[in-house]
Amino acid sequence: MKSKSVSRSILFGPIAPSLDWLVVVRVFLGVLIIYHGLVIFNSAKMAGTAEFFGNIGIPYSVWLAYVSKATEFFGGVFLILGLFTRFVSLALVFNMGVACYMAFQFDIFGKGELPFVYLLLFAVFVVAGGGRASLDNVLRGN
């Protein structure tokens, strides 16, 4: 009988109660989205991104390509730091929503799967915030 309660606590109890899992996900997600935003530092690739935006019907394609990639790059940096997490995540949800709708026509089981998964993960941080190990938490005085 004792082994049953031990296995139950292992299966359903916290794995590492002192670890803030939000920080782990936040940092990895930040690194991944920064990678996509690095295009902003390459003018040839940005020209291609702007052309793609224009081809799919996004107005002001050059300006919005820079806004999109800056949101990804700087949003990732802020996400890693846990600074303004909810606001930055909301901007990234919007960015990924536009990608899902305009570039992939909500083909979330095909080529639009990656931006949709990003959208869902960013939505988690809109709701949950940065967690205990974030600069948001430090600024609040916790």
Distance of alpha carbon 108 from alpha carbon 89, whole angstroms: 20
Full domain range(s) for residue 91 = 32-129
Structural domains of the chain, count: 1
Does residue 100 lie within any of the structural domains?
yes
Residue 8 pLDDT grade (very low, low, confident, very high; cuts 50, 70, 90): low
Q: Is residue 51 part of a domain?
A: yes
H or E segment at 51? helix 43-55
Please check whether residue 60 lies inside any domain of the structure.
yes
- Tell me whether residue 72 is in a domain: yes
Length of the chain: 142
The answer to whether 61 and 51 are in contact (CB under 8 A) is yes
Over residues 85-142, the pLDDT tens digits come to 999 999 999 999 999 999 888 888 999 899 999 999 999 999 999 888 899 988 888 7
What local confidence, expressed as pLDDT, does residue 9 receive? 55
Residue 11 lies inside a defined structural domain of this protein: no
126, with CB counted inside 10 A (0-12, 13-18, 19+), is: middle
Residue 84 lies in a domain: yes
pTM for the whole thing?
0.83
Whether residue 7 lies inside any domain: the answer is no
Q: Is residue 4 part of a domain?
A: no
- As a dihedral over the C-alpha atoms of residue 42, residue 48, residue 49, residue 55, rounded to 10 degrees, the angle is 170
